[in-house]
């Protein structure tokens, strides 16, 4: 007869295994996978003037700052002659910002300032009150304040030094919202979720998760990029969106390889697979040797001239294929991402050459993944 504690332990182990198997391996919230259609940011832009520079502003060849300063002074009641103004402590700039949805008047925004003239640096400058316009030409915010520059520039008579860009700056909380942008996220009693990465399987899983949460058939997968949800009442739209945003969805991983040819960076993710393939890769190495010779002929009466004769030797080398100089390498098939990485690393070639190899593998049908070249 078995001890009762043995049976209890066995039951607990079985229950733990059932929970472990039934729990999704990877789950994301709906709010991390989708955006509500209609809830979006808007971009703002404005033209302004930065003052208080220490001789690093625009000069006479870039008249934007001088003209803007004259217009500002006249607006403030100061009459100035534009022909006598030669200022280097003023710079013309563009001011940009992003206003989030539901931003009320009085909300503060971060702004970015960039020079459009030939100012050397915006260090120590102050942005004069600048209206920020939306795409419809209306003013939605006003910006003003001291600039924070992440770069520096210093120079002397024969040398100069520069770090990062001194012609761009930021003002945290440097703009005040003056107008509310009307936002509508319901239409005919429905809300629409837009998938950030369209996928038919993901849209189907989001629909099923929403229906299970609501206990009724309220969601419809419109296509691979949108899921529509019917509301009980538009008055409960905010509460419904907050509730649905916390639902967990097992998002499928997409087999994708992202390549940046400029930096040689390669990132692979998802269910990437590799079929058995033979690869021949080789780099052309050109060795150039410069060995100048000196010619000093022996002439009567010392009339000979000493000359340097250049001698160049160019030797091409195509034996650098593979890690051990082999012309053909066999790569076994791999069904897991770790095996794919191990198989490709066995070639012993640098990342920049691996970019070309991956492109060729995709063209040959041996690489089971979407190739994204940046």
* DSSP for 226-247, written as a single string: EEEEE-S-GGGHHHHHHHHHT-
CATH number at residue 192: 3.30.70
CB 128 within 8 A of CB 95: no
Residues 51 and 90 in one domain: yes
Provide the CB-side half-sphere exposure for 179 (13 A, CA): 15
Cα dihedral sign for 319, 321, 322, 326? Answer: negative
Q: Is residue 297 part of a domain?
A: no
Residues 166 and 206 in one domain: no
Radius of gyration for the chain, computed over Cα atoms and rounded to the nearest angstrom: 33
Instruction: Give the pLDDT confidence of 232-280 residue by residue, as tens digits.
Output: 888 889 999 999 999 999 888 878 888 887 777 788 877 788 788 777 7
Task: Look up the pTM and report it.
Answer: 0.68
Q: Is residue 363 part of a domain?
A: yes
Residues 196 and 238 in one domain: yes
Q: Is residue 332 part of a domain?
A: yes
- How many other C-beta atoms can be found within 10 angstroms of the C-beta atom of residue 237? 18
Q: Which residues contact 324 (CB under 8 A, 6 or more apart)?
A: 348
Position of tokens 């509310």? 180
The count of domains in the chain is: 3
Quote the percentage of the chain above a pLDDT of 90. Answer: 33
Residues 55 and 155 in one domain: yes
Q: Is residue 33 part of a domain?
A: no
Q: Is residue 308 part of a domain?
A: no
Nearest to 38 by CA among 188, 141, 223: 188
CA–CA gap between residue 283 and residue 323 (Å, rounded): 11
Q: Is residue 20 part of a domain?
A: no
- Domain residues for the domain of 332 are 256-283+320-373
Residues 367 and 279 in one domain: yes
Residues 63 and 169 in one domain: yes
* DSSP for 125-168, written as a single string: -EEEEEEEE-TTS-EEEEEEEE-EES-EEEE-SS-EEEES-TTE
Residues 197 and 237 in one domain: yes
Instruction: Give the pLDDT confidence of 19-65 residue by residue, as tens digits.
Output: 444 444 457 899 999 999 999 999 999 999 998 888 888 887 777 77
210 pLDDT band, cuts 50/70/90, is: very high
Q: Is residue 10 part of a domain?
A: no
Q: Is residue 310 part of a domain?
A: no
Residues 368 and 325 in one domain: yes
Provide the CB-side half-sphere exposure for 343 (13 A, CA): 25
CA–CA gap between residue 66 and residue 87 (Å, rounded): 7
pLDDT for the residue 211 = 93
Residues 162 and 61 in one domain: yes
């Amino acid at each position: 007869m078995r001890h009762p504690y043995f049976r209890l332990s066995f039951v607990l182990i079985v229950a733990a295994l059932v929970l472990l198997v039934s729990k999704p391996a990877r789950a994301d919230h709906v709010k991390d996978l989708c955006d509500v259609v209609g809830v979006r940011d808007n971009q703002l832009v404005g033209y302004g003037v930065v003052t208080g520079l220490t001789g690093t502003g625009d000069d006479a060849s870039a008249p934007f700052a001088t003209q803007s300063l004259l217009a500002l002074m006249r607006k403030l009641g100061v009459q100035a002659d534009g022909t006598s103004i030669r200022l280097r402590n003023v710079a013309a700039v563009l001011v940009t910002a992003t206003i989030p949805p539901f931003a009320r008047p009085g909300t503060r925004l971060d702004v970015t300032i960039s020079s459009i003239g030939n100012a050397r640096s915006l260090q120590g400058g102050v942005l004069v009150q600048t209206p920020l316009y939306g795409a419809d030409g209306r003013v939605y915010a006003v910006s003003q304040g001291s600039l924070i520059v992440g770069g520096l520039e210093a120079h002397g008579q024969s040398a100069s030094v520069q770090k990062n860009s001194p012609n761009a700056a930021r003002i945290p909380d440097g703009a005040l919202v003056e107008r509310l942008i009307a936002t509508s996220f319901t239409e005919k009693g429905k809300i629409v979720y837009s998938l950030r990465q369209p996928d038919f399987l993901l849209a189907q899983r989001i629909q099923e998760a929403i229906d299970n949460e609501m206990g009724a058939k309220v969601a419809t997968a419109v296509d691979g990029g949108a899921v529509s949800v019917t509301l009980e009442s538009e008055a409960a739209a905010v509460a419904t969106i907050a509730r649905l945003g916390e639902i967990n969805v097992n998002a499928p991983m997409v087999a994708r390889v992202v390549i940046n040819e400029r930096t040689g960076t390669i990132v692979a993710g998802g269910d990437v697979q590799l079929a058995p393939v033979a690869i021949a890769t080789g780099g052309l190495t050109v060795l150039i040797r410069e060995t100048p010779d000196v010619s000093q002929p022996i002439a009567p009466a010392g009339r000979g001239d000493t000359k340097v004769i250049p001698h160049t030797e160019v030797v091409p080398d195509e034996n650098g294929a593979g890690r051990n100089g082999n012309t053909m390498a066999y790569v076994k098939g791999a069904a897991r991402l770790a095996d794919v990485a191990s198989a490709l690393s066995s070639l012993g070639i640098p990342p920049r050459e691996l970019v070309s190899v991956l492109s060729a593998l995709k063209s040959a049908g041996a690489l089971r993944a979407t190739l994204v070249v940046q």
